[in-house]
Amino acid sequence: MRVLITGGAGFIGSNLVHAALADPAIKEVAVIDDLSTGVRGNLDGTDVEFVGGSVLDSQALDAAMAGREAVVHLAALPSVPRSLRDPVASHHANASGTLAVLEAARRHGVGHVVVASSSSVYGMNPALPKEELTWTRPMSPYAASKLAGESYALAYQTAFQLPTLAFRFFNVFGPRQRHDHAYAAVIPRFVHAALRDEPVLLHGDGTQSRDFTYVETVCAVILDAVRRGVHHPHAVNLAFGTRASLLEVLAELEEVLGRPVAREYGPPRPGDVPHSMADNRVLRDLFPDVTPVARRDGLRATVEWMIGRAGLRSDAAT
């Protein structure tokens, strides 16, 4: 099978590339990435066809799409705070970008498209766990752009009979996730600060909770979907209902490190939802053979990776 991964130099994308190349069912992997958030070095040591460019560049996208049998669309401009500063950029990258990928897949006769959406689409809906068919109410331009993208993916099933699968990701973490930019996710920021003996910054009181999912688990689900051509008429949560507060994550990180981690507290961030947790019944039905990596094991692997890559305290992980 010949697969295209958009955003393949990014955090999830590069992990997926490495996993796909180790999968006997995947014959060839191509990547398109403009490196706006991804890192070319994430693909070092891989045999992939790399197209440097945005999915909004039709020539680059056509070059990457030609001859592919399946597409995993991960290219996006992430981050709620970033979208508050530049809503139009988030819309172009996430909504228009997804539409461009779907159109290119249709032009090239691609048989299956997996699209990454986000749990942020639930927004102001307070229900826990989050069920896919419950109402959505985005609280940020980022969330709205991801809802638009998944809506396009689902519409293409009925309008053009293109098999698609829209996954709602829930706080994915793991190796290759960047800590070194203004919009970094919480776990890489926590880990990097802790390894440098610096206090971690909590926005709010730390009781806000998320359904953290280790990136290896996410890749296993996506590859299973690609191999079997799984499609579904509704968006599907990609998380396993393992909600934890930020304070609980810090406690687990302290256990991994074998020492306490200092904290600082700042004001809550606009657009952030207080709690998130996936209803995973549909996911379990569609992917019964995938066993999620435990959060603590994922934290340990993330710490070990960051120690190896950043040259931080080699005695930090016990």
Cα–Cα distance for residue pair 143/225, rounded to 1 Å: 24
CA distance 314 to 188: 17
The tokens for 129 are 């766990």
- Please count the other Cβ atoms lying within 10 Å of the Cβ belonging to residue 299: 24
CA–CA separation, 127 and 45 (whole Å): 44
Q: Give the CB-side neighbour count of residue 256, counting CA atoms within 13 A.
A: 22
183 tagged catalytic: no
Per-residue tokens: 183: 């919009």
Number of CB atoms found within 10 A of residue 160's CB? 12
Catalytic residue, chosen from 122, 142, 152, 156, is 142
C-alpha–C-alpha distance, residues 302 and 127, integer Å: 30
269-287 residues labelled b (16+ CB within 10 A) or e (exposed): eebbbebbbbbbebbeebb
**97 contacts 142 by C-beta, under 8 angstroms:** no
Report the DSSP pairing between strands 164-169 and 112-118: parallel
**């016990």: which residue's tokens?**
318
Torsion sign (Cα): 51, 54, 55, 59:
negative
Q: For the beta carbon of residue 172, count every other beta carbon within 10 angstroms.
A: 23
Cite the active site residues.
142
